[in-house]
Structures are given as structure tokens and as C-alpha cells.
Structure 1
Amino acid sequence: MTNPSLILPQYHKYLNGAPVPFSRRTRRNSEFCLVALVFVSLTIICFGAVFYLPEFKASYGGTINNVYKHIQNAGPELLLPPHGNAKHDGVLEDPHAAWDKKALFAKIDEDYLDKRKVLERPDTGDAFKQNINVKNISFYPHAESIVEHNDIGQNNENIELRQRRDKVKEMMKHSWDSYVKYAWGKNELKPVSKHGHSGSVFGSANMGVTIVDSLDTLLIMGLNDEYKLGRDWVANNFTLENVKIDISVFETNIRFIGGFLSCYAMTGDTIFRDKAEYVAKKLLPAFKTPTGIPHSLVNLKSGNSKNFLWASGSSSILSEFGTLHLEFVYLSDITGNDIYRQKVETIREFVRGLDRPNGLYPNYLNPITGKWGQRHVSLGALGDSFYEYLLKAYIQSNGKDLIARDMFDDAMASVMDNLVQTSASGLTYLADMRFDRLEHKMDHLTCFAGGMFALAGESLGSDSSKHYSELGASLTETCHIAYDKTATKLGPEAFRFTDNNEAVAVRGNEKHNILRPETIESYFVLWRLTHDNKYREWGWEAAQAFEKYCKVSGGYSGIRDVYQIDTIKDDVQQSYFLAETLKYLYLLFSDDSLIPLDKWVFNSEAHPLPVRDQNSLYRMYQSEGVVL
């Protein structure tokens, strides 16, 4: 039995004379005081905390507004747009639902890019920055590319230089944006008509030539959003599977393979290496000839190849089969597949073993019989880049390709003996030769030779170096004079040297300008090697002329007659205008450390390729699959 004395006292409240047991609703006075004290303490703490917030102290009552502004700045991820009348397929759509769907797709795309498989990470160390002179070049889809220019200072000369470079960048953006707006995915743009151009060397096939040609220029200029757009198109849309036409082996090599290889070297993005090899494999059937000299054209569907009907005796063209070496050798080095190197070395060995009239290389060679075609020799159309690639193969190999150097020296000795001429007024030019007779004409294409000879004088270190350098400067000055003699200050397609005219186009079909880069290329090379400011001034004159006479609201167009101020536009924005002309202009007004000539060599479409053993971005393939 429980002891009553151990039971705690129970307190009762009497209601109507009857005792009521204690409950939660009954309190003693002391308990009420304790609860009140706790409540007051909590109230003081809460109000004190709010009062002493920094924003509250700064402006009473402003906290809510400031918080709202912060939420606004956070973007559409937090705030839905106001109600509207959005329609989808003609049906009124809830704007919130539309926004949610858009945000969802954006998130999916973001996650996909983040999880994209990267086989090899690019080099972002000091060696990379030294070789291309950038801070965090755009390794898609992440970091921004910020080009550093060490020549930007506070004096008037450097400010002016920066303004000129920025103007060229603005020209590039106008060209690119116009192409994106009016001709996206097409080969080139008709800037006056504002639609795609299907009359290019690639015909009507939509291969995105301008996109591929522009990518490394966009990288160099730091136009990262534009580069990412182009890179996405290459990754997701570029294909040759639906192309059923004959395409040029030469043009496909210098623009597509060269463009992809340049982007791979600069970024380490393996999509470009893989695309370059994909294209190269499509070209290999053209090499199936008795001599190994490839045909000019290959059909991507059937694999059949042939030469142009107009080429002498169904011959292949010197400047075309001779302008594969840089790309194919580099492709073998980064893929470990030696087939590409073998193809171009077979070409070289065959050509090297042929007898040459007057020590010169004719422009036509039959790939079946191995015999020279029509005796036409030129450093302009049909011949030009064959000689360029002999010199640049030697440079690309870091001086190890001695066969290329010997072939170049031998060829240039014959060129100087037979083709180099001096006009009555003392202008130096390179004539064409047809059946041992000189034609005193220079193509605009020949104007690349000024830079080539100057580069040879700097690179070869031979007894001919001084003569090479002087000849390069003289030829470049002649090309400048051809520009200066026109009303538009833009050079003609070809110019002649006669008793009455020097460095002037005579025939109507020679007076047009199609935005070609060769003269600007020589200005750039001569500036880099001499630092004579006249080359920058000449380049700026040309840039202003392009802006004044070629710019239209839909891009840049070639013109029909450089000697007429109010000339007709040809309505074509050539892809090489973005790949070459604007790139060389931009580099002309940039510091020498941006794409330095001792670490990079430009292919015939101005796509920079790294010099082996001098540039850590060469990314040589290793047997275990690791790329350096």
C-alpha cells in the first residue's frame, strides 16, 4: 500500500465549491513570470539581430528592396517572366510553361557538355602561353580566350595600333555575323543578296566552308562566343556522307584539313584531329594512280577521281598536288597513321626524279604517264604554293627536311635566272613563261612570293639568304605599287609590265579584286622580319580600302573594277577573306609573340601549324596513345 505521505501535494482549484484537478490551463504566479521573461528575452534577441544587419543599418526599411534586387540580378533561374501571349504552333501557350521548358532544355544541354568525354586534355601551362601568347585560350566549352598584346602602351603610336587591330577585329565580326545570319551552314555568303553562295569551288554542297575556315581566326582574335558556335556546328553537323559531288582535293586539304589541324594544335580538342583524319581518308582514293600523283577531283560517294577537263592533257596541277605536304605529314604525326606521310613523300620522290626544262617545274603533270604537260611555268596561278610548301616543309620539320630545302634552293635558282625581271622604271616582278617565252604579267596570287622569299632569307641561312631577303622586299613593294595605282587602293587580279603600263591591269578580266590575301600576307611577313613600319602603313591603307569599297550591310564583297570608285560588287564574301586576309591584317597590327614565326608555319590558307620540336603544341602521337 502506498504511503500517502510520499504523494506529491496536488493543487486544486475550486469551481462552484467543488475541487478541480491541476491541468495545463492552470498556472501559478511564478510560472507566469518565468514564461513572460523567456518571451521578452527572445523578442529582444530577434529584434536586435534584425536591427544590426548591415543593410538594415545602412538604410532603414531597405532590406526587402535590396533582397528583391539581388533576386532579380540572379536572373531568370529565380524569377519567372511576366505573363504574355506566347504562342507555339499557333496555340496560346502559358509563358511560365514555355520558360520552364526552355530552361529544362538549357540545363540538359549544359549537363551534356559537362559530361562530354574528353580523351586528351590540352596543355594549359607556361609553354602553351608562350607558344600562342594567350591566357586560357578557349578550351570549349569552358574558359574564355584573352589575347595578350605586349605592344599596347600609353603612347600615341601604341594606342593607334590597338585601334587598328580592333578595327580589323570589328571587320571579322561583321563578316562572321553576316554569314551566321544569312548563310549559316552554306559554303560562302552572298553579302549583297544576303543568302548562301553556291558557286564556289565546292558547288552546291552545304559543307560549311566559311565556318571551318574561320575558326582559328576567331580563336586568335579572342572571339570566343563565335568560335564556340562554329565548334558546335563542326561537332554536331559537319559530315561528308551526304556529299555526292566531285570536290577539289587541294581546296579540301588546305581549308578543311588545314583548318581542323590548326584548331587541334591550338586547343587540344580531339574533335578537330578526328575530323581532319575523317576528311583525309575521303581524299585517299584520288591517290590511286600509277605515279602516286593524285587527281584533282574525287567523288565522295563513289570514290572515283579525275582531273579537270581544261587541264593540259588531263594533267594534275603542280600547285595542287604540291600543296598537301604540311597537312599530311602533321596528320600522320598526331594520329600515328603513317599512310598520309607516305602519300606525300611518294609525290615528292616522283617529282624530284623528273627532268625539268630549264630547271623549272611546269604547271601540269600527267598522273598516268608521269610526263609534263603544257610548258607553262608560273609562281602565280597553278604553280604558286608548290614552291611555298617546299620552304615551309623545311621550316615545319625544324630544319630536318633537307630534301625540301634542296628542292627549294634548286627551284629558286632557276626562277631567279628565268622569271625574275626588272621593269623600265626599276620595279621587280616575276613573269610567267610559256614555251620558253616570257609573259610580263604578275597575278595577284604571285604577291605571296614577297613573303616567301623574305622567309627563306630568314630561315635557310645559306649564301642566297641576303638575295632572298632583298628580292622579297622588292616584290612586295611592286605589289604595293599595283595597289597604289588604283582608284580604290585595292590591287587588281593581275597586272602587267609593258612600255606604257607598269603594275597596271590592262584587260577587263584582270581588274577585279576578290578580297585576296597574298599582298597582305607579304606585308605581315616583311613586318615581322624587318619591323619597317611602312608595311603596317601599307596594310592599314588596304584595310581602309576594304572597309570603304567592299563593305555592305550583309558582309564584304569583291569588286569588279579597282580603277573605278563606283564599281559593281561581285556579291561574294570569299571564305579566305576570313581565314587569310583578316587574319594577316590582325597579326600585322599585333605583337610578334602572337603566333610567332619561329614556332608556327602558315599553310596556304593561313591556318597556323606548329613547328616540330619548337612548339609544345605539336602534340606528337605516342605509341601508348598519349599525346604530348
Structure 2
Amino acid sequence: MTVTPVPLPLPLTSPDSSASSASPADPASPKSRGRGLRPSRRTVLAAGVGGTATALVLGAAAPAEPSVSADAISAAAVREEYLHGWRGYQDVAWGHDEARPISRTTHDFFAPGHTFGLSIVEALDTLFLMGEDAEVIRCCDWIEQHFDPVQNADVQIFEVVIRLVGGLLAGYQATQRPALLARARELADRLLPAFTASPTGMPYTHVNLRTGAVRGKVAALAEIGSNAMEFGLLSRLTGDARYYDASLRAYRAVISRRSALDLLGTSIDVETGRWADCTSVAPNAPVDSFYEYLCNGGALLRDAQLSSWYQTLTAAILRHQAVRAGGRLWFRSVDFRTGRPNGPTTQLELGAFYAGLLGKGGAVREGSAYFDSWTAVLERHPVLPESIDYTTLAPLDRSGQLRPEYANSAFDLWRITGDEHYKECAFRWFLAMRDRQRVPGGYTNLRDVTAPAGSARSYDDLTPGYWFAENLKYLWLMFSGTPRFDYRVGMLSTEGKALAGLRPQWL
């Protein structure tokens, strides 16, 4: 397989404003590009998805009542599956972080013996967007009565910020319940020592919520820079600048250490400021959301500095890391000082989000091409494996972790372009997830995506909390046209939390 470097594209520009406002209610809707991948969503629905769709979509017989749109049928199917997963969590794990739907047991995500009700916090704004107000109220009541931000537990800063602080902030913006904002602030206060105790301002990876003790001095970029959206919004809502100031100081410390090529390494010693790993692996983990928060944080907070950093770093990634393999766009790892290839031809599923991010940052052509690359993987492996060799599309890690990144990019690119192609791809992704990862107690990870559908040996017995925050939220927003979300200005975090655009209901 020949791997060919991709020439530097045209300078990044902002997407056309008329295209970026595309929404289900008022889409800028070019026809589907008709790439002949699989039968269309309308055809699939006609074959039985949603139960009563046949006459409505095939036109075999005129319905007695006004026909239901394919989008409405898709939205109903998405909602049904979300509630199936939610009921599974409620039945066996209510109040715990995560459910193991097959063994009907629970999983503590942050620290053994400690629960933060992670799935409850993750689900808040998704349930709100789906109009499940009774469930939202139940979740808010549990948080007000049981959520404890001062547990004697060492927690990872990155996960707490994007999952708990972000979830509480989204829940507050949906419901306007003051206790949710108060809990978010209490939790953020407990995280700040990881930033303030660091000589460079780049946070340690872990902090004890009760004692403030910090540990983990070598941090990956995502751990350092995935907080600007949550901390910036918290500063805006509370009038307390400490949170956003801490985030910006950490960002400046990293950006100031970029190479002469405008590339960044993978991990850094937060005490000395020396790079621990000098390989640029973007857009793969563990650096992925560092770049995402520059772009999205700049837009959410109207911070031109964040946006400028994003453009500078992205231009360098496209110049030095973009390659073509088999005619498809991928991103190779390189030495951040020289730009020379450095590492295997591996691409992580977690990097699939980058297609949408490129589009949001103005590189729509490159974003679309990268999305098509992952669509080719989805054609070969209906459930995306955790990692692949991008020269052959063969799986390297065969597990399927219920990841949302492909759907995330489909949603982002659909909003930018209005192209129905992205909705078709997202729905095929949804059907494969439903066919292969649905179990009586909800949804579960897979050990091996290449195993036959329904094979008991393939199930891994965990519904990760992010499934309630992300996977089906993207599809619901694409197909439902919910009035609870302002599609013109709405913005989601890396964990799918709606940090802008929610229309509150004061529940």
C-alpha cells in the first residue's frame, strides 16, 4: 500500500455562515451525494425499522392520515433505543456510575468504592432534549440529594471536567435548577489545586477531592487542555474568573512549547515543562480534544486567541501529518520537531471526531474526506474497531467500545453542509449498533467487532456513561428537529454536553 503525503490545502477559512446554520427545522439541504454504500435510510425504514413505516415510505398505498416523514420515524427509533438503554441502567445501577447490563451489576468509574452517579449526570441534557421531563426531574433530585463533590477519592481531572462539571452545567442550562450550578462550582473548586499547585500552570493528572493532594506530573495534551469550554462557561455563569484563567494559563504553557513547525508533542512534564513524548499523534488520543477545545472554546467563549491557536496548529497538522493511503485521507504520527514519520500506520476510532472538527474550523473539504475514510471502515466493519491499520483497514484492536465519534462528525458535517449523506451514514451506524450491541439490559461494549452478530463471546458487559451523553444525542438532534435546541448557536463539548443552545424549561 502506497502512503502519499497530502499537499498543504488552501488556508483554513470560516465556514459559510448560511451553511453553518443548517438545521432540521430550516435545513440548507443539497441532495444526498448518492455514494451507493448501502440502501438508503428510507428503504431501510420501509423494511421495518420503526414498525409501522412500510406504507408511509414506500408509497405502496396512500395512508389515510398525513404521512410521517422518514426523519420522524428515524427519531422515534433513536428515542426508543435510548430509553431501552436508560431503563437498563435504572433497573440495575441507579445511583451508581455505570451499569453492567449482562451480569446486572454496577461499575465505579472514577475510583473503586466511590460513586458520582456518572450515568445520571451524563444523561441529563439528552433526556431533556428528548422531552423526558419526569426523568430529568428524577435525575436532578438525585443529584441534589446524593451527589458528593468532596469524596476522599483521587480522580482524573480530564474525566471529571468533561463528564461531571460539563454534565452539571448542561443540566443547569436545561432546567435552571440552582443546585446543579452550585454542585458544578463546588466540584471545580476541588479540581483547581491540580492547576494552582503546578509550577507551569499545566494541571497534574489527578487530585484528591477532599484533601487537594495532587499526583501525575506527566500529562497528555487532552488532559491538559480539555477544560476551556466548561471552565469558561462556569466563569461566565458565576462571574468568577479563576476557572477560565486556570484553563488559559495551561493552554499558554503548552502552546509556547510548540516546535518550529507549529506541531505539539503528545505528553509533557507539568513541573519542568519538558516534553515527555515528542511525537505528534493528532488527531488520535491522547491529544484529540486539546485541539477540539481550541476551536469549540474559541467559538463558545468568543476568544479569538483560542481560535487563532487552533488555526495555526491545524494548518501544521494538515501540512505535515495528512497522508493518502488507498486514495483515502488519514493522519500519520510524526516527530514534532522534524515532521518525519514516527510510528506505525495506526488510526484510533477516537480520532474519527476530527472530520467534524475540521469542518467546523473551515476545512470542510478535508473534513469530508476524512469522514469518507471512516465510512470505508464502517463498510468493512459495521461496528468500528477501536483501532485500525489505515493502509489496509484491518483491525488492530478488535474491541468495540460504543464510541460516538463517527456520529459526532456526521452531526457536525450535516450542520455545516446540510448534506443528507451524513444523516444516511449516521443512521446506518445506528442500525449496526442496535443490531450488534443491544442486549436485554441495554447496550454493551464488544470484545470483538468481527465476531458474528449476537455472539455471546463478543459481549464485554458494560454500558459506558458516555453512551447516555453522546451516541444517540447526535442522532436525535439530526432527526428530531427538537425545539429545545437552537440549531443556529447550539454547541456541544467533547463529551456531547450541550453547553450552548439549550432552551430551558425550569423543571
Per the alignment, residue 77 of structure 1 pairs with: none
CA shift in 2, pair 1:568/1:303, >3 Å: same
**Which residue does 1:441 correspond to in 2?**
346
Q: SS of the residue aligned with 1:302? A: coil
Aligned-residue offset at 1:616? 8.7
1:259 aligns with 2:167: yes
Determine helix, strand or coil for the equivalent of 1:373: strand
Distance (Å, rounded) in 2 between the aligned partners of 1:169 and 1:355 = 44
Give matches, 1:12-411, under 5 Å.
Answer: 156=57, 159-198=69-108, 200-241=109-150, 243-287=151-195, 288-307=197-216, 314-356=217-259, 358-378=261-281, 379-397=283-301, 400-411=302-313
Q: Secondary structure at the match of 2:240?
A: coil
C-alpha change, 1:215 and 1:485, in structure 2 (3 Å) is same
Per the TM alignment, residue 359 of structure 1 is displaced from its structure 2 partner at its CA by 1.6
Counterparts of 2:207 and 2:375, CA distance in 1:
38
Contact 2:484 2:503 in 1 (8 A): no
Find the aligned partners of 1:497 and 1:414 in 2 and give their Cα distance. 21
Contact 1:328 1:341 in 2 (8 A): yes
The Cα offsets for residues 336-362 of structure 1, whole Å up to 9 and x where unpaired, read as 111112211211222232242532111
3-state SS of paired residue (1:521) = helix
- The residue aligned with 1:478 is 373
1:540 matched to which residue of 2?
A: 427
Question: Residues 593 and 240 of structure 1: is their aligned pair in 2 closer, same or farther, counting only changes over 3 Å?
Answer: closer
What is the match of residue 30 of structure 1? none
Cα 1:593–1:440 change in 2 (3 A) is farther
Provide the residue aligned with 2:13 in structure 1: none
Deviation at 1:323, TM superposition (A): 0.5
Q: Contact conserved, 2:410 with 2:425, CA < 8 A, in 1?
A: yes
**Amino acid paired to 1:229:** R
Are the counterparts in 2 of residues 213 and 259 from structure 1 also a CA contact under 8 Å? yes
Q: Which piece of structure 1 moves more, 437-446 or 200-209?
A: 200-209
Residue in 2 that maps onto 1:94? none
Per-residue deviation at 1:469? 0.4
Distance apart, 1:159 and its partner CA: 2.5
Distance 1:444 1:497 in 2: 11
2:494 — aligned with what?
Answer: 604
Shift of 1:202: 4.0
Q: Distance in 2 between matches of 1:187 and 1:560?
A: 21
Q: Give the 3-state SS of the residue equivalent to 2:192 in structure 1.
A: helix
Amino acid at match of 1:369: T
Do the aligned partners of residues 208 and 252 (structure 1) sit closer, same or farther apart at CA in structure 2, a change above 3 Å counting?
Answer: same
- The answer as to whether partners of 1:363 and 1:376 remain within 8 angstroms in 2 is yes
| Matching residue's letter, 1:401 | D
Classify 1:536/1:473 alpha carbon distance in 2 versus 1 (closer, same or farther; 3 Å). same
Alpha-carbon distance in 1 for matches of 2:102, 2:137: 27
Tell me which amino acid in the other structure corresponds to 1:402.
A
* Structure 1 residue matching 2:419: 3-state secondary structure: coil
Contact 1:484 1:490 in 2 (8 A): no
Closer, same or farther in 2 for the Cα pair 1:202/1:447, shift >3 Å?
Answer: farther
Return the index of the structure with the highest Cα Rg: 1
Work out whether residues 579 and 605 of structure 1, in 8 Å CA contact, stay in contact via their aligned partners in 2: yes
Measure the CA separation in 2 of the matches of 1:158 and 1:191: 33
**Deviations along 1:249-301, whole A, 9 cap, x unmatched?**
11000011101111212222211111110110110111111111110111123
Moved more, 432-441 or 208-217: 432-441
Q: What is the CA–CA distance in structure 2 between the aligned matches of 1:411 and 1:355, rounded to whole Å?
A: 9
The percentage of counterpart residues that share the same residue type is 28
SS at match of 1:563: coil
In the other structure, the counterpart of 2:480 is: 590
Q: AA paired with 2:386?
A: E
SS at match of 1:437: coil
- Per-residue CA deviations over 1:378-433 (Å, capped at 9, x if unaligned) read 21111000100110122112xx411111111110111011111111x211112223
CA gap 1:245/1:377 in 2 versus in 1, 3 angstroms: same
Question: Counterpart of 2:356?
Answer: 451
State the Cα distance separating 1:595 from its structure 2 match.
2.7
Q: Confirm whether residue 427 of structure 1 aligns to residue 328 of structure 2.
A: yes
Contact residue 539 and residue 588 of structure 1 kept, 8 A: no
